[in-house]
Amino acid sequence: MSKLLVTLRRSDDRDAVRDSGMEILAEYPDSLLVSGTGRQALDLAGRGVETAPLPEQPVQTAGATFAFAAALDAQEAVTLEPEPGRTAYYLVKLIGPPTAAWLSELTDAGAEIHGSLSGFTLLVGVLPERVGAVRALSRVEEVTPYRPAMKVSPKLQPARRREQGADQLAAVDAADFEDDGLQMIEVAVFPGEDTAALAERLRAAGGTVLTVLPKSLVASVPRAVIAALADVEGIQSIGPYAFSQSSNDRAATVMGVPVDHVFAGLTLAGAGQIVAIADSGLDNGDPETIHPDVRGRIAGLTSWPTRKVLAPFTNDPPGHDDGPADIESGHGTHVAGSVLGSGDAARDAEAGPVPTGIAPEAQVFFQAISQRIRWKSRAELAAAGLQPFTAPWPPPESGLYGIPGDIGALFAEAYAAGARVHTNSWGASLAGEYGQNARSVDEFTWNHPDMLVLFAAGNDGEDTDADGRIDADSMGSPGTAKNCLTVGATENDRPSGSDPAPGMDRDWSDWNSYPKLGAAGHVSDEPDGMAAFSSRGPTDDLRIKPDVVAPGTNVLSMLSSVYDGDGEPLWGRLPEGHPLRDRYCWSGGTSMATPLVAGAAALVRQHLAALGHVEDGRRPSSALLKALLVNGAVAIPGQYPGEVPEGPNPVSGFGRIDVARTVGAAPVHRTRFADAPTEAVATGEIRRYRIEAADPDLPLKITLVWTDAPSLEGLGGLVNELYLQLETPSGEVVNWDANPATRSTNNVQQITVASPEDGVYTVRVRGVSVTQHSPGAAPTGDLRQDFALAASNAMAEGVEDGAIAAMTPAD
């Protein structure tokens, strides 16, 4: 017997299912979950009923990917006996996509739902004596303990694969942790568990605790501690931790921004928008005398002191704060210029080029998060009864040590100041992990649906096997968050011989990391090619990241007037004698690509505000901004065979940002969008929109984005699963990827029709599994997830002609 998901398109589809003899397991608003034989499935297909198979899917946790049957076998081999009277944690496998009523039944049986995993499996907390009641529910197939081996990230066990069978799931192998040395770890606990008590336990075992939050902590521990730590009942995940680090005239042209900022008769320069930036610092830190390119547009300038947990390891006073000036690196000043620099310093000097940001009329709310620290020596640490928490010791004197333990505090401060776009050119090298910082991004955006947060993908792209291709799986965190817009880097258009000469005037193969990358040529001569250093996806839960790319090599932007670091700033100054040498400099990295996209987001938001699509706290939703930017992006072919795969991919994401296409200017016109709380969907519900191609000679492109609930740390994955489908005028159903009934890993989905047919297309947004009610959705008494749609080269019935306009569902 096999399961099928039946889409109810016609009034007699339900009768056809009953006539086939298939068993109806569950009924949803627009679909049925059924079970039957292969012959019965063929009979349904012959009757014209739309079905999709619902095969067994592997379960993915923070530490492993496995078949549910393997977890049952592991329990048979090594039985876990939870302590009576104390909450224990279990995997609950359901018969299919859960409704709100199913979840209520679980809650009534005594289970507290903590996470929605793949394979329609829930992670719950329940008293052991209530497990029988949970298992007896009609919608539950099986229950098994959440085991220690399911908690520990494979990145802490290099010899162990993520895919595990019953033998590996039975117990954590202590031999994997017998090597000497310290390990920085992030430990997440289930709600209600005591992180303070856990911190004391780690200290007693010889660890150094650096951060304690209600649901997680960060510590440096002897590796031998990890195996025993996994046995602690209340721990949800154990993963690696790393400190965060810092990850334009030609660039704007590459991104489709006209010099005069006039898009098809509409001027968009960011007026009325506040963009928040968290970075090293901003020029001299004084709004009155700051760099001319941002002077008069400072909405706020704050400095975040050194984190309290670091104070015992330094010779600085508690609360040490060296202010908002950008002295050590110039990184934050350069970033700010790319977002919203006006180019006034160049105009005042009557010299060129004039490096302007993407949104030169926007305001900036700047949060300085870099601090210079005087670390204690090893001898001073020993005298204070402390030990180094990392090797080698000491860490760098200057770094992003002002980043708070919960980065949601950064977003909250900026949001209160009126910012609705927040850009971050920093992150930690965690190779695809979904940790506390990624979860904080998703939690804040989930609760503030009109705040778009951007993060750089990271600069960890390498060719370690020297095969001439950049390796996969280097995505930085928090860029692994589901709801942020993660930005990778392409090359800029600054070839050798440009005037002025680019700061990094060399080929990729000149770098030790890329000896076999000769085919890529110069570092900034091909905007259709990737920057080699740009971190690649996918994430550990197999989502596509980055989302988009933008120029990130030899980008010219503002230079901090108080820069006093070692050597040249960033990628170098302009040549000796150049009149702008003290005002602008070159740089490169995904750090430089990300602020360009943040500026583009400000332009799109300005456009939507001009259309009246604005309501504080709700719209335009960040999902809509993301959908429009992704939908307008153009695919890049790459500059050598195999560099960039076709279609959405974990190298260039959904393509390079093109602002003109995003706002509906030529050549792809008439963008239609949906962004209404009342159009949210529940499990098994389908929202339909009818569109036609405006120009049959141009592609029809549709993008779906939703802001998902935060996932469990170490796990990631979708909590609420939606699915994009397109029914053609001829009746063919086009899926976003493979199957609307299996787990959808991406909350950004896209369908492109290269050669549209004449006639009406029906866009479907399907609620596959919705287990939490979205704050952005209208309250209806059911669990619903809101979303945003963008369709380019599209006309919608009842919508006035124009470059960009809202559309409404057909039913």
> What span, in angstroms and rounded, lies between the C-alpha atoms of 323 and 326?
9
Closest CA to 653 of 632, 635, 627: 635
Vertex 690: Cα angle to 689 and 694 (nearest 5): 125
Q: Packing angle between helix 622-632 and helix 590-610, nearest 10 degrees?
A: 110
Mean pLDDT by 10 residues, the chain (811 residues): 91 91 94 93 90 91 96 97 96 97 97 94 98 98 97 90 93 86 95 96 95 95 94 96 78 76 82 97 98 98 96 94 96 98 96 95 98 97 94 93 97 98 96 95 98 97 92 96 98 94 93 89 96 96 96 97 91 95 96 97 96 88 98 96 94 96 71 94 96 93 98 93 96 79 80 96 96 92 95 84 80 68
Residue holding tokens 């547009």?
Answer: 297
**What gap in Å lies between CA 687 and CA 701, rounded to an integer?**
18
CA distance 204 to 211: 16
Asked if residues 709 and 786 have their Cβ atoms less than 8 Å apart, the reply is no
Cβ-proximal residues to 126 (8 Å cutoff; 6+ apart), any chain: 87, 88, 89, 90, 109, 110, 111, 112, 134
Residues acting as catalytic residues: 279, 331, 591
Provide the 3-class DSSP secondary structure of residue 763.
strand
Is the pTM higher than 0.75? The answer reads yes
Quote helix, strand, coil % in the chain, to nearest 5.
20, 25, 55
CA distance 26 to 51: 14
Please name each of the domains of the chain with its CATH number. 2-53 (3.30.70), 81-142 (3.30.70), 154-240 (3.30.70), 260-499+531-623 (3.40.50.200), 667-806 (2.60.120.380)
Picking from 439, 436, 441, 444, the residue whose alpha carbon sits closest to that of residue 211 is 436
Buried b (16+ CB within 10 A) or exposed e, 685-721: bbbebbbbbbeeebebbbbbbbbbbbbbbbbbbbbbb
pLDDT number for residue 800:
66
